[in-house]
């Protein structure tokens, strides 16, 4: 358990989520389930005047926001989304500067920082998801999820991390 602002606990579920991830991967490859990686067209959300690409699937259950790692996009989660969507409302976002989202000039139009991406996720939960969500990150997406939860604890039901990258954190 990791305690942050306002005595709210954010649960970092390394092992539990890793097991779920492996289960989802196994189910996807080993079944003839109707859950497939066929996606509707992506959606666009305007954030600070920049177009942000995201994908969503599922209509029932808790909201889960998937946050990709460095050099990736929402497509990183393409095999997980349909299976998770059987029981959750899944949102996978392209962080600003990645995938099909806007890539504004660094330092002039936007600062590419964990604080910026954390605020993007918090605003996404408020404006698109419409409620608190489980934040799931991979690589730098883990740091983004934690930043969002620390700065905006009301938007996070929990944080799960896969292969967390601690790169650049030593500079703080």
Mean pLDDT of the chain: 84
Express each pLDDT in 34-62 by its tens digit: 445 557 789 999 999 999 999 999 999 99
Contact 58, 77 (CB under 8 A): no
Q: Which two tokens stand for residue 108?
A: 């002039």
Express each pLDDT in 1-13 by its tens digit: 333 444 344 444 4
Kindly write down the DSSP assignment for every residue of 41-54, as one continuous string: PPEEEEETTEEEEE
Place of tokens 């926001």: 65
Contact 136, 130 (CB under 8 A): no
Alpha carbon of residue 127 to chain centroid: 15
């Amino acid at each position: 358990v990791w305690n942050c602002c306002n005595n709210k606990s954010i649960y970092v579920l390394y092992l539990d989520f890793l097991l779920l991830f492996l289960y989802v991967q196994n189910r996807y490859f080993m079944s003839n389930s109707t859950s497939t990686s066929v996606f509707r067209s992506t959606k666009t959300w305007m954030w600070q005047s920049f177009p942000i690409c995201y994908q969503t699937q599922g209509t029932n259950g808790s909201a889960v926001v998937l946050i990709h790692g460095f050099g990736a996009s929402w497509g990183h989660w393409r095999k997980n989304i349909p299976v998770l969507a059987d029981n959750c409302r899944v949102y996978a976002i392209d962080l600003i500067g990645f995938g099909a989202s806007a890539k504004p000039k660094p330092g002039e139009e936007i600062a590419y920082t964990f604080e910026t991406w954390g605020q993007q996720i918090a605003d996404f939960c408020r404006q698109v998801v419409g409620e608190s969500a489980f934040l799931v990150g991979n690589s730098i997406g883990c740091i983004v999820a934690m930043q969002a939860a620390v700065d905006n604890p009301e938007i996070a039901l929990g944080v799960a991390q896969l292969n967390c990258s601690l790169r650049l954190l030593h500079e703080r």
